[in-house]
Structure 1
């Protein structure tokens, strides 16, 4: 079930709660770009997005090659700049869906409808 269908089943107050949850737990596009631009060679933006394995890889490539690997991680970071919006959208959509499902499956909600 897609998010729009789930959200259409919620009341206005429940939708506000879902949006609040996305704002508090979701990822911030500006922060992701700042991390990528200033600490991207070290994989900071990937750590922020929860992509720990590739973040560690970028960090190790840059550090263990005494900076010469920065060419590789620099290209990698440049490509990531185009991927970040999709990552943010997917992450926030997942939070939105899980929160909406949690609200819809709440037994207390059913008691209110009766």
Structure 2
């Protein structure tokens, strides 16, 4: 599972950096950070207490990127894919949150 999570983080991050398939990349980031958020949930919000503040910020940032699009200097723009409809952002958010929560539910072990 660590390899899958690491691959998801690296792959989604690289796709976001080059601006390729932005809604799909945002979905990956949202999914991985949702798992991180659930792990840190019991510590509260604030990061100084090992809370979920930072994963929440990354989820919001990925959702915002899915909503606003990749920008003019992206592979999506070069390939003519840059104008994703707004419903893609809602789909990316729902799929990312759903996949992260499902992953956490399936793989969670009690100590």
TM-score for the superposition, normalised by structure 1: 0.35
Greater relative CO, 1 or 2 (CA 8 Å, sep 6+): 1
Q: Which protein is bigger by CA-based radius of gyration?
A: 1
TM-score for the superposition, normalised by structure 2: 0.36
Higher helix share: 1
